[in-house]
């Protein structure tokens, strides 16, 4: 955290935060509906939060944290000026307040990061721990340098444990978030090929995600890791000794096999357990790893296996993450909506899982179709990673014999379009569109017709594939 200039004002600001319901916001438009929040005037490339501070106070903010100076028209020493806290860096001030709140509460914090499955695993952990505890957890995808402090500041005195998701696209970011959240328990879901550009390649990702384990090892925390994952096993061994001494962190491995969990169905994910079959609301065998992680954290906090499993089974995905929904517009399609985010690892896993689903010629005579959108933040690796996915899909299309239903693919975005062109040889059943709008036009004109089909939609948020749903 950088120098904020907050100094002793931190304690007064924290008093105001506590006296006014413990609410903060970075959105001046939301102030009126939040009672008396603390408004932090953050700035971005296209806006300056300071410009909205006066209106925020007028709308009821208990205080406004502003950068560099009092707003125009506010006189130093006036009663009005007392509503403003002038700092050097409003983001750092937000982080400082959050770290102080976390210190005051003193409750255990579970932090998790990883290339894939963070949000799903976070939700599963929260539900498992909710069997026994009052749980505060990251809302939605608020997992970055702004989202983590907002999550911490949402924790209430009556909460027993907090689950904090940490995202990163470059090295050093997880380390910074750990200094704010100060986790006691940490989990890395996996180390995949996400944000290759920011991390500088696969080894950079490994080191960047490993910053969570670094913090736990240095501060006497507990790392929970999949013993079935050789990368995570090696990362734990590098940082934790077999015998944890005083003040040193420790690591504990887990496995789905040790919990007696095996997959017996992918759609929905159904598990064979010692307590019988457990059917979840998720799709895809890859979610077994997320369930096992949640069960492992629950085990550490004393949640019985049977209760943990049923709590995990109650989780219903939303926000375009592994959602299964039947079309409501008469097309008769079943949509597997996974367009919240994408990277090479998650794209390959989603594609393989979808292709493994059983054909259903009676209900879905149109067979299977996939719509894949460009993967972002891959830098110099982008062309090769997109080409690998195209080759994977083309191979699947070519391999389907006469005993299987048809498979078609639609690629969306300039990266996928270029990758298909680079392959040279045309592939029947595989088309590319430069943008989602181009595919929308084709669907509207009926030049692309998808009816009574099992349909996977997967891509990065920036590709905006969700715009297709009304037509699918």
> Is the entire prediction scored with pTM above 0.85?
no
Mean pLDDT, to the nearest integer, of 114-141? 92
Does residue 36 surpass a pLDDT of 60? yes
Does residue 10 surpass a pLDDT of 50? yes
Sequence-separated (6 or more) residues with CB below 8 Å from residue 447: none
pLDDT confidence bin for 456, thresholds 50/70/90: very high
Does residue 301 surpass a pLDDT of 60? yes
Task: Give the start-end residues of each E strand in 50-199.
Answer: 63-67, 84-87, 109-113, 135-137, 161-165, 185-188
* Of the candidate ranges 55-59, 368-372, 421-425, the one whose mean pLDDT is the lowest: 421-425
Is CATH 3.40.30.10 the right assignment for the domain spanning 106-313? no
pLDDT tens digits along 150-181: 999 999 999 999 999 998 777 789 999 999 99
Does residue 243 surpass a pLDDT of 60? no
Does residue 246 surpass a pLDDT of 60? no
pLDDT of 429 reads: 86
CA distance 256 to 268: 18
Of all residues in the chain, the percent with pLDDT exceeding 70 is 94
Which of 450, 451, 460, 466 is closest to 409 using CA atoms? Answer: 450
Three-class secondary structure of residue 356 per DSSP: helix
pLDDT of 230 reads: 92
pLDDT of 43 reads: 85
With vertex at residue 155, the alpha carbon angle to CA 151 and CA 190, rounded to the nearest 5 degrees, is 45
Average pLDDT score over the chain: 88
Burial class of residue 107 (count of CB atoms within 10 Å of its CB; 0-12, 13-18, 19+):
middle
Mean pLDDT, to the nearest integer, of 350-378? 86
pLDDT of 284 reads: 82
Residue 94 near residue 26, CB atoms below 8 Å: yes
DSSP state of 284: -
Does residue 362 surpass a pLDDT of 90? no
Mean pLDDT, to the nearest integer, of 176-205? 82
For the domain covering 9-91, report its CATH number. 3.40.1390.10
Mean pLDDT, to the nearest integer, of 71-76? 85
CA distance 354 to 455: 9
Q: For the chain, what are the domain ranges?
A: 9-91, 106-313, 323-471
Three-class secondary structure of residue 116 per DSSP: coil
* Of the candidate ranges 116-125, 154-163, 186-195, the one whose mean pLDDT is the lowest: 186-195
Does residue 3 surpass a pLDDT of 70? no
CATH of 323-471, one of 3.90.190.20, 3.40.50.10540, 3.50.50.60, 3.30.420.40: 3.90.190.20
CA distance 48 to 162: 32
Residue 460 near residue 375, CB atoms below 8 Å: yes
Does residue 402 surpass a pLDDT of 60? no
Q: Which residues of 153-187 are buried (b: 16+ CB within 10 A; e: fewer)?
A: bbbeeeeebbbbbbbbbebebbebbbebbbbbbbb
């Amino acid at each position: 955290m950088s120098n904020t200039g907050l100094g002793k004002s931190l304690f007064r600001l924290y008093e105001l935060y506590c006296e006014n319901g413990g609410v903060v916001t970075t959105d001046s438009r939301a102030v009126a509906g939040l009672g008396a929040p603390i408004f932090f005037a953050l700035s971005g490339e296209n806006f300056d939060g300071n410009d909205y501070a006066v209106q925020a106070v007028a709308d009821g903010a208990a205080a406004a944290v502003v950068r560099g100076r009092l707003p125009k028209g506010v006189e130093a020493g006036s009663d009005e000026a007392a509503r403003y806290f002038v700092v050097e860096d409003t983001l750092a001030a937000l982080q400082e307040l959050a770290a102080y709140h976390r210190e005051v509460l003193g409750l255990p914090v579970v932090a998790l990061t990883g290339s894939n499955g963070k949000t799903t695993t976070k939700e599963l952990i929260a539900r498992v721990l909710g069997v026994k505890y009052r749980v505060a957890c990251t809302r939605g995808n608020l997992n970055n340098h702004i989202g983590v402090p907002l999550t911490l500041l949402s924790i209430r005195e009556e909460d027993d444990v907090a689950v904090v998701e940490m995202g990163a696209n470059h090295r050093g970011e997880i380390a910074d978030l750990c200094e704010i959240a100060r986790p006691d328990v940490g989990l890395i879901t996996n180390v995949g090929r996400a944000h290759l550009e920011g991390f500088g390649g696969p080894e950079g990702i490994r080191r960047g995600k490993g910053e969570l384990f670094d913090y736990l090892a240095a501060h006497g925390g507990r790392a929970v890791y999949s013993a079935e994952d050789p990368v995570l096993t090696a990362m734990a061994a590098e940082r934790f000794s077999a015998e944890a001494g005083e003040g040193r962190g420790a690591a504990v491995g887990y496995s789905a096999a040790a919990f007696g969990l095996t997959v017996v169905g992918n759609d929905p994910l159904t598990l064979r357990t010692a307590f019988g079959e457990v059917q979840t609301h998720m799709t895809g065998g890859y979610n077994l790893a997320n369930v096992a992680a949640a069960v492992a954290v629950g085990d550490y906090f004393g949640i019985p296996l049977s209760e943990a499993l049923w709590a995990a089974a109650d989780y219903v995905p939303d926000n375009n993450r592994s959602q299964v929904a039947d079309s409501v517009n008469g097309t008769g399609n079943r949509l597997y909506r996974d367009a919240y985010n994408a990277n090479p690892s998650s794209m390959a896993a989603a594609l393989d899982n979808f292709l493994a689903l059983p054909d259903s010629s009676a209900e879905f005579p149109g067979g299977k179709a996939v719509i894949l959108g460009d993967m972002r933040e891959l830098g110099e690796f982008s062309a090769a990673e997109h080409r690998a996915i195209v080759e994977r899909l083309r191979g699947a299309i070519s391999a389907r014999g006469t005993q299987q239903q048809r498979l078609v693919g639609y690629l969306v975005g300039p990266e996928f379009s270029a990758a298909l062109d680079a392959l040279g040889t045309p592939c029947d059943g595989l088309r590319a569109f430069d943008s989602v709008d181009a595919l929308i036009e084709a669907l509207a004109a009926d030049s692309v017709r998808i009816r009574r089909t099992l349909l996977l939609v997967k891509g990065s948020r920036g590709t905006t594939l969700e715009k297709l749903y009304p037509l699918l």
